[in-house]
Amino acid sequence: MTWIPEAASNLAGKVDGVILVITLISIFFFVLISAVLIYFAVKYRRRRDDEETPYITGSEPLEIIWTVIPSILLILLFVYGFVVYKEMRTPPKDAVDITVTGKQWLWTFDYYNGKKTLNELYVRQNRPVRMIMRADDVLHSFFIPQFRVKQDILPGRYTQLWFTPTKVGTYDLFCAEYCGTGHSQMLAKVIVLSPEAYDIWEKGIGVDEGANVASLPPAELGAKIYKEKGCNACHSIDGSVVIGPSFKGLYGKTGVFEDGSSYTADENYIMKSILEPQEEIVEGFQPVMPSFKGILSDDEVTAVIAYIKTLK
């Protein structure tokens, strides 16, 4: 089926099964009822002006049939739906835990082995994973269409879901709950690795897949980070003010903090802004930028600075 997203988790086929059965039953009854309606409308139409309307009393057998059959169908549908729902809500004992935090407007993932990633969720093919999720600020919703899983996440409470990815590949993760200006930018990728590739990733040092980004020139790597680590949700590169100041012309500019003191945006200032954004707040802005300490490596911060320098 190409009119729905690819099915790439153990649960996807089951969810599709429920939807397919409900849709087919609905189509069947829609066609049946429409056909009977048209047939009766034609057959019992008034043919002459003085024709009398027939007097029809109820039919007990008919009423029993159209009560009992739909009741049985609905009960069967409920049981079928419930069985699949229960499986979706019950993680297997051998599932590994990943902590998910949603905040305006990015996702962070903390793994059982101490790794941490931003806007990229790494999972191993055919291994069940359980997402333990919470929000830092407002309601968000964790949604991976290709896996057919979706769950609201809330501040101050953990919610969870689980799945077993079945196909190697890269899939979309959306926030499915309107959560403010940057909502449409709150995107992440789910990267399903083969068991061998996952082992390599797991042993790798650093916070990201160092291997495939190391070869990029710093400014290009910085541009990639700008998009993939969610800076673009709050910082434009064309001079417009989104949630934070634009990166255009940032390097070397003189600015003012909330407390009235002024600063010059050099390398150290930019680094500090990324790692300790709450220390000093730029005048006219809210203290909403999350810290990227432990999320971006030193090399990545350097790359972002190199990128910002190109935005004159």
Region 140-169 residues binding ligand HEC, contact defined as CB under 6 A: none
H or E, element range at 236: none
- 187 is a contact residue toward Cu ion (CB under 5 A): no
Which CB sits closer to Cu ion, 189 or 272?
189
Partner whose footprint covers residue 265, from Cu ion, ligand HEC, none (CB < 5 to 8 Å by kind): ligand HEC
H or E, element range at 15: helix 12-43
- 286 is a contact residue toward ligand HEC (CB under 6 A): yes
Residue 174 DSSP class: E
What are the strands, taking DSSP E only, across the chain?
A: 96-103, 106-111, 116-118, 120-124, 129-135, 140-144, 149-153, 159-163, 169-175, 187-193, 254-256, 262-264
Q: Output the smallest distance, CB 148 to Cu ion, in A.
A: 19
The closest of 246, 214, 210, 221 to 303, measured between CA atoms, is: 221
Q: Which of 250, 303, 306, 311 binds ligand HEC (CB under 6 A)?
A: 250
Partner whose footprint covers residue 289, from ligand HEC, Cu ion, none (CB < 5 to 8 Å by kind): ligand HEC
Q: Which of 7, 144, 175, 231 binds ligand HEC (CB under 6 A)?
A: 231
Which CB sits closer to Cu ion, 105 or 198?
105
In the sheet that holds 149-153, the strands lie side by side as: 120-124, 187-193, 169-175, 140-144, 149-153
Size of interface with Cu ion, in residues (CB under 5 A): 4
Which CB sits closer to Cu ion, 186 or 311?
186
CA–CA separation, 152 and 20 (whole Å): 24
- 274 is a contact residue toward ligand HEC (CB under 6 A): yes
- 188 is a contact residue toward ligand HEC (CB under 6 A): no
CA–CA separation, 115 and 58 (whole Å): 70
Q: Which of 77, 197, 275, 281 binds ligand HEC (CB under 6 A)?
A: 281
Burial of 49 (0-12, 13-18, 19+ CB in 10 A): exposed
Provide the binding-site residues for ligand HEC, judged by CB under 6 A. 104-106, 229-231, 233-235, 243-245, 250, 255, 265, 270, 273-274, 277, 281-282, 285-289, 292, 304
Binding site for Cu ion (CB under 5 A): 140, 175, 179, 186
